[in-house]
């Protein structure tokens, strides 16, 4: 594939995702359940703040996905690179400092760095922004693996029962009995380091919780009158599952996926911290934390690298959790008061 076509796909993919999200949002607002849920979210102050923060992160991720091919450096550059990339310094420098830190003879730095520089003189603020796209990539791709797999197996086990239920229950019981982080590390070591490999490892280990939830909800719905009436009218099992049971499960699935997205971001940081995450040349908050593990023991203390990475992770995870809680309160009829 030519570099021009490859970069065109890179640029179109985030725009396509935005288009799909807008279409889903507009269609969802036309339904009574989600229309009322959106109105409740709009009246919730914490939900508005959370959505604003998530929007800022998403904007940064999109800006880091839209770029061009630089014929001079033979590398791909993005909007984030053009705006925030700074020339590297000699070594550490504190936020907004004018001299380097940790050298016997501090040297004057060439540019201002809002969050300082790391051991190789790279701008910490720029590295923090580069980690946003990686977080959304891993979270989004893993959700695309987990959700269809969990829905397929959960609906099958809950609706048909008998031997299908036994087999699927046995599979996810075995997987859940193994510590997830150990299984993820083992899979990454086998598959190799990379974003796709991490998504596969997380996807194979993270579908269990959602599958168990979908199975339980399906068992409840298969005994209700509307399902029995559909069977009496001769409606096929596939139509019952897709057109009747699945729409009733979507609120639970969407809320669970939203709350689980932050855990996927944290898992990437943990794997990168343990040295089995994304490659070193890919922007990652986990790589920043891994590089800063010994910096707090230095004299003077190098605190800004670790603070920037953990602050970025905390901001995204907290916003996702607040939004997920607000969405649950808005959708669940039992919590409406």
The string of pLDDT tens digits covering residues 186-197 is 888 888 888 888
Q: Is the pLDDT of residue 12 over 70?
A: no
Does some domain include residue 99?
no
Each residue's pLDDT tens digit, 52-109: 999 999 899 888 888 777 777 677 788 888 888 888 888 888 888 888 887 778 888 8
Q: Which parts of 180-240 fold into alpha helices (H)?
A: 180-191, 195-222, 225-232, 237-239
Q: What is the mean pLDDT of residues 294-309?
A: 82
Q: Is the pLDDT of residue 21 over 80?
A: no
pTM: 0.86
CA separation for the pair 253, 258 (Å, rounded): 9
Does some domain include residue 27?
yes
For residue 201, the enclosing domain spans 3-85+123-335
Each residue's pLDDT tens digit, 112-124: 888 888 888 888 9
CA separation for the pair 169, 245 (Å, rounded): 20
Does some domain include residue 107?
no
Each residue's pLDDT tens digit, 305-320: 889 999 999 999 999 8
Q: Is the pLDDT of residue 264 over 90?
A: no
The mean-pLDDT minimum among 7-21, 42-56, 86-100, 318-332 falls in 7-21
Domain count, the chain: 1
Does some domain include residue 330?
yes
What CATH number is attached to the domain comprising 178? 1.10.3720.10
Q: What is the pLDDT of residue 28?
A: 67
Does some domain include residue 97?
no
The closest of 39, 41, 61, 40 to 50, measured between CA atoms, is: 41
CA separation for the pair 269, 286 (Å, rounded): 4
Does some domain include residue 141?
yes
Q: What is the pLDDT of residue 88?
A: 84
Does some domain include residue 228?
yes
Q: What is the pLDDT of residue 11?
A: 65
Does some domain include residue 302?
yes
Q: What are the C-alpha distances in Å from 158 to residues 7, 213, 224, 274?
A: 44, 10, 13, 38
Q: What is the pLDDT of residue 2?
A: 56
């Amino acid at each position: 594939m030519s570099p021009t076509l490859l970069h065109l796909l890179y640029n179109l993919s985030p725009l396509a995702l935005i288009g799909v999200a807008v279409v889903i949002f507009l269609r969802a607002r036309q339904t009574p359940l989600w229309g009322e849920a959106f109105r409740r979210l709009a009246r919730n102050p914490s939900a508005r703040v959370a959505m604003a923060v998530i929007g800022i992160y998403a904007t940064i991720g999109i800006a880091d996905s839209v770029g061009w091919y630089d014929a001079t450096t033979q590398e791909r550059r993005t909007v984030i690179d053009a705006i925030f990339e700074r020339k590297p310094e000699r070594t550490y420098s504190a936020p907004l400092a004018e001299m380097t830190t940790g050298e016997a003879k501090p040297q004057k730095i060439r540019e201002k760095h809002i969050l300082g520089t790391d051991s190789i003189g790279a701008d910490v603020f720029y590295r923090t922004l580069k980690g946003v796209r990686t977080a959304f990539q891993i979270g989004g791709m893993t959700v695309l693996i987990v959700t269809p797999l969990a829905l397929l197996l959960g609906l099958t086990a809950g609706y048909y029962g008998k031997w299908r239920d036994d087999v699927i229950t046995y599979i996810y019981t075995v997987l859940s009995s193994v510590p997830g982080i150990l299984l993820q590390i083992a899979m990454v070591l086998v598959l190799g380091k990379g974003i796709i490999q991490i998504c596969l490892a997380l996807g194979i280990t993270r579908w269990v919780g959602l599958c168990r939830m979908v199975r339980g909800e399906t068992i409840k719905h298969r005994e209700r009158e509307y399902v029995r009436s559909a069977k009496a009218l001769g409606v096929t099992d596939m139509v019952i599952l897709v057109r009747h049971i699945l729409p009733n499960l979507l609120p639970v699935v969407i809320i669970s996926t939203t709350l689980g997205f932050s855990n996927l971001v944290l898992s990437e940081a943990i794997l990168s911290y343990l040295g089995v995450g994304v490659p070193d040349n890919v922007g990652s908050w986990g790589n920043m934390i891994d590089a800063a593990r010994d910096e707090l023991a230095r004299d003077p203390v190098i605190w800004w690298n670790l603070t920037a990475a953990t602050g970025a992770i905390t901001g995204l995870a907290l916003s996702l959790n607040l939004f997920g809680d607000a969405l649950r309160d808005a959708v669940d009829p039992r919590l409406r008061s």
